[in-house]
Amino acid sequence: MRRRRTTIFFLILGICLLAITVALNVGWILLNAREVALLIFGIIFFALIITGLTLNTIFLLREIRRNEQHDAFLNAVTHELKTPIASIKLYLDTLLSRELEPEKRREFYEIMRADNERLLATVQQVLQASRTREKGRRLDLDELDLGELLTESAEILRSRHHLDENAVRVTLPKEPVLIMGDVRELQTVFTNLLDNAVKYSPDEVRVSIRLVAGPARYADVFIKDQGIGIARGDLKRVFKRFYRSSNTRLAPAVKGTGLGLSIVRAIVEKHGGRVKAESRGEDRGTTFHVRLPKQ
């Protein structure tokens, strides 16, 4: 709320300054219209002031927006770290203070392990975001079967979110699709995209993974969900750092740091490929298209 008021204040201030500048300069020019030199000087002076005020207002608005994104990121990371830590502490205190049945103890251990994995995933994502911005960092390239990598990613997703076999379908070509890539980095790409597909599916999870190896030198991966979709105006912004969905139906309840898709784009581009998001609008699902060069 404070950031929004600041934005409105600077907008009003910029408009007022522009209005005052216009009034003063028009009046001054009219009073001195007989003098050509003064007229030209007044026009130039007026244009410079207008340009300066406009640039100043744009700069302030960008800084405010950037600060809002940083604050949202810090709040998200703090929440993602604090929640599992508090949960683990609660269950540990319970285990230390009470005698529990073996089944109950095992249940607590499973919950603590899940919280620990969530904590580790958050830390790894922040570190990954930092690494992708390092200039000159080289990939550990090896020949790999893209179909096998997608199948493994689907298995990780089913295990992580306790999904049945039909929730995630993988369609592969008959022949192996070989590429040169960094296995760990590309695993991050597909697990991030698949995690997003699950997180933004409010009802029954249905995700399809399709690998297409055309005659060209590229392999195409399509990851499609039936979730909340993306507004057309947001399609070009989803890969920016700290971006969070503006869909009010589900997005506010979805946990995350806003780094996942920016990491995806950085890794794919380092492999010489590209990634884009496609959606027919909110509540109509999303398809992520990853294109990677074949070997």
Sign of CA dihedral 230, 236, 242, 246: negative
Q: Note whether 118 and 108 are within 8 A (CB).
A: no
Can you tell me the mean pLDDT for 152-180? 87
- Which structure tokens are listed for 97? 């203070």
| Options 3.30.565.10, 3.40.50.150, 3.40.50.300, 1.10.287.110; CATH of 142-293 | 3.30.565.10
Which position has the higher pLDDT, 54 or 150?
150
Which position has the higher pLDDT, 129 or 160?
160
Which position has the higher pLDDT, 16 or 273?
273
- Reduce the secondary structure of 107-168 to three states and give it as a string: HHHHHHHHHHHHHHHHHHHHHHHHHHCCCCCCCCCEEEEHHHHHHHHHHHHHHHHCCCHHHE
pLDDT in tens, 70-82: 666 666 666 667 7
Q: Could you state, in order of their start, the residue ranges of all structural domains in the chain?
A: 1-137, 142-293
Can you tell me the mean pLDDT for 152-164? 85
Q: What's the pLDDT score for residue 107?
A: 85
Q: What's the pLDDT score for residue 28?
A: 65
Report the mean per-residue pLDDT for the chain. Answer: 79
Q: Note whether 87 and 116 are within 8 A (CB).
A: no
Q: What's the pLDDT score for residue 73?
A: 60
